[in-house]
Amino acid sequence: MGIAAMNAAATGMKALDTKLNVVANNLANVNTVGFKRSRTNFEDLMYQIRREPGSRDFEDRPTPHGIQVGLGVAVSGTQLNFENGSIDPSGRKLDLAIQGEGFFQVLTTYNGQQLTAYTRAGNLVRNANGELVLGNSIGSILDPPITIPENVPDDGIVINNNGLVQVREDGSSELTEVGQIELARFVNPEGLKSIGKNLYVETDASGTPITGEPLQDGMGEIMQGMLENSNVEPVRELVDLIMTQRGFELNSQSIQSADEALRVVTNLRR
């Protein structure tokens, strides 16, 4: 019995260690633009039936005999939370936020393959070729690509709520259309897979992307000069962190108690 208790407590420590890592990652990204917090889901393990001394067969009793003893807990998975973060003004013309549903689409390389990834981060910059790219460590190109002419200053870029990109060349008063931002949304965005660098890729669980222009087909609107903050709530995460640490300590104490009980039983049998 003591060994079973120690094994159950050990599974609890292992599961809570995973949760500590998830909470720590949430807190680490509290200032990451467009970051979405994760939570850890748990499930109980299978149960053993321990027969009571002198119990009869099941057919002789109106209720199930024996005692059900659980074998611990396991992490069933982590789940993304895509609630919108707060949107704050940044003052940069190439900073964009999505008010409502939708993701920006960018081209990236994952597992050696070039594919389309999705992000809520809208901190865009221009690369050496004038293309709009995500301001991450690899400069993922916006999809479909949009190129800003070299002689257009940042304050000459106008992006409407519907994603239409227009520019005013230096010394000119006329606006010229140079591209259209398209967004994507998913039936189950929580099924997306995070690959780092503020990017997600589709999975069977998320379903295929539904693409379209902002303000159409359920897509949100584009807000220029704004950025969506992380949806991590520091106070909530800190409370979660404290509770997880307490749970970890309690499981550790359970192992110690079970070990002491096992020693007493062993001594009594001698």
Residue-wise pLDDT for 127-150, tens only, equals 999 999 999 999 999 999 999 999
User: Within a 10 A sphere around the Cβ of 38, how many other Cβ atoms?
Assistant: 19
For residues 25, 126, 109 and 100, what is the CA-based torsion angle, rounded to 10 degrees?
Answer: 60
Q: Around Cβ 220, how many Cβ atoms within 10 Å? A: 18
69 bridge partner residues: 48
Q: What is the pLDDT of residues 77-107, one digit of tens each?
A: 999 999 999 999 999 999 999 999 999 999 9
Q: Which residue did the predictor score with more confidence, 50 or 157?
A: 157
Distance (Å, whole) CA 124 – CA 156: 15
Q: How many CB atoms lie within 10 A of CB 107?
A: 16
> Domain ranges in the chain?
2-81+233-269, 87-228
Give yes or no for a contact between 242 and 235, defined as CB atoms under 8 angstroms apart: no
The DSSP secondary structure of 74-89, one letter per residue, reads EEEEEEE--PPPPEEE
DSSP assigned state of 51: P
Look up tokens 């920006």; give the residue.
Answer: 104
Please tell me the predicted confidence (pLDDT) of residue 6. Answer: 87
Is the model's pTM score more than 0.95? no
Of the candidate ranges 35-44, 62-71, 147-156, 227-236, the one whose mean pLDDT is the lowest: 62-71
